[in-house]
Structure 1
């Protein structure tokens, strides 16, 4: 299964035993996360977070994707994972978030690179998408740094608490990733 470690950053598959720690991280970053993520208000307890992590374990067991924690210098910093895998068309989409104190260190770009490398190299998928709020400059910078192509903007793609937001849709194909011959980002 996927693994990545560079001395400071480590990706670990989500485990239920981290429910309280993950809830605390979300709870301490509510205002920061709520700006772009629609699930923050419904995350009301460690028990709810445990149910989410149990669904991640089931997702992995069903071969329908995975979710990983990002640990930075041993501390839980965020999450990256797949929404699901369409095995017929060999494609998936990636979602991610990072607690505010960990931004600006390249952690999510490195994590996305590792995940995309795994998806194309090990899982032999053909297409990976990343969708981000059109105005979410930080989130959009990640696929742009990794060479994803902006394929368009989907208008009013998501209801975010009290308004719709548009999504910028980025795509990467296995052949493009292979041709880019990308080294691990430093």
Structure 2
């Protein structure tokens, strides 16, 4: 399956069924932290939910319309990065990501996003990649800012997380601008 080697310590691997327990355990360990920004967390209670998610992502990968990868740091899964629905006609997509709280601040997610964007431009020949993050999620917003994506605006009330609407900041980059 798809593996993207970033460094001796870091690589992205397409999520497979065999990763379900490890992903579920990481989410469970970080449930309270992740639930602040990710509405799916409190609906993914049982390992079967993770298995169903991975199977759906494998089907999306088979249809060439997007995929999700585990982020492996020193051979352990520490988070995930996903390519949302690919618009092949317009050659664009967006990416989303999450990481266990203990692994923040090590440059893991920045390197994972940099590598994924490079892959999307160089290998899939896309023209545009977008990242959206809740306005108040400063750690998530720091990644596209650090990578030099342009802030393109704010979408008001873009996402309902439990009982509250959150605005999203939109960051984008096009292939001809990408120099990372």
Same topology, TM > 0.5: yes
Show the counterpart of 1:143. 144
Cα distance in structure 2, aligned partners of 1:126 and 1:75: 32
CA root-mean-square deviation: 0.9
Contact 1:2 1:115 (C-alpha < 8 Å) held by counterparts: no
CA 1:2–1:173: 2 relative to 1, 3 Å:
farther
List gaps (5 residues or longer) in structure 1. Answer: none
1:75 Cα deviation (Å)? 1.3
Show the counterpart of 2:49. 48
Contact 2:6 2:115 (C-alpha < 8 Å) held by counterparts: no
Cα distance in structure 1, aligned partners of 2:166 and 2:89: 30
**Deviation string for 1:99-158 (max 9, x for gaps)?**
001000000000001100000001000100000000111100110111100000100000
What is the TM-score of this pair, normalised by structure 2?
A: 0.97
Residues 59-78 of structure 1 mapped to structure 2, 5 A cutoff: 59-78=60-79
Matched, 1:38 2:39: yes
**Deviation string for 1:38-91 (max 9, x for gaps)?**
100110111110000001110110000111101111211000011110011110
What is the TM-score of this pair, normalised by structure 1?
A: 0.94
SS state of the match for residue 125, structure 1?
coil
List gaps (5 residues or longer) in structure 2. Answer: none
Cα distance in structure 2, aligned partners of 1:125 and 1:75: 30
Show the counterpart of 1:10. 11
SS state of the match for residue 86, structure 1?
coil
Cα distance in structure 1, aligned partners of 2:109 and 2:125: 22
Residues 96-175 of structure 1 mapped to structure 2, 5 A cutoff: 96-175=97-176
1:5 Cα deviation (Å)? 3.2
SS state of the match for residue 79, structure 2?
strand
Runs of 4+, deviation exceeding 2 Å: none
SS state of the match for residue 104, structure 1?
coil
SS state of the match for residue 84, structure 1?
coil
**When the two structures are aligned, how many residues end up with a matched partner?**
179
